[in-house]
Structures are given as structure tokens and as C-alpha cells.
Amino acid sequence: MASATTGAAAKPAAPSGLAASAASSSQINLTWNDNSSNETQFLIERSQNGSSFTQIGTVAANVRTYSATGLQANTRYYFRVRAANNLGYS
């Protein structure tokens, strides 16, 4: 006997409504809308110039918040969040 589970039929839909709020001089809290029903995780990415992003964390499917910590005071940061599954990224 053998069994298997089929993968997602499509890449996940992109999250929307990303909002960032400074919680302290070293922490920014992120929230977003989950528009996908087939993501396996969300990738959180950060940039200081708005064009070159680096992944800084992940959260599980259906999680819609992230706290970026260890940040430098009085510094502008740009963030983006991408949904992911076994077929790729939003």
C-alpha cells in the first residue's frame, strides 16, 4: 500500500494591506491581509533602500503578524511579505 498528498494547484495569492508601525526604537510590528488559502508560510523581507530585500524571517500559514526586532534607532526600513507554497512565491 502507498499513499501521497497532492500539492497545491497554484502559487499562493499575494498578501495585501501590509502595515508597519514602530513599537520602540528597535522594533517594528507588521500586519497584513492573508489573501491565500494554499500558502504554507509567509516570508518576511527587509530593505534599507526599498529595492534590495533580504529575508529576515518566516511565519506559518494563516499568521498575519510579525515583529522585526534588533533594529537601529532613527532608521527607515522597508518591508515586504510574500506567501509561499511548494509551487513558489506570490
pLDDT at 4: 75
Cell numbers at 37, concatenated: 488559502
Taking CA 67 as the corner, what is the angle to CA 62 and CA 74, rounded to the nearest 5 degrees? Answer: 145
The residues near 4 (Cβ < 8 Å, ≥ 6 apart) are none
Q: What is the pLDDT of residue 27?
A: 98
**Residue found by looking up cell 522594533 in the block:** 27
Please report the pLDDT score of residue 7 as a whole number.
Answer: 64
pLDDT given for residue 8 in this prediction: 56
What stretches in the chain show pLDDT beneath 70?
7-8
Q: What's the pLDDT at 3?
A: 77
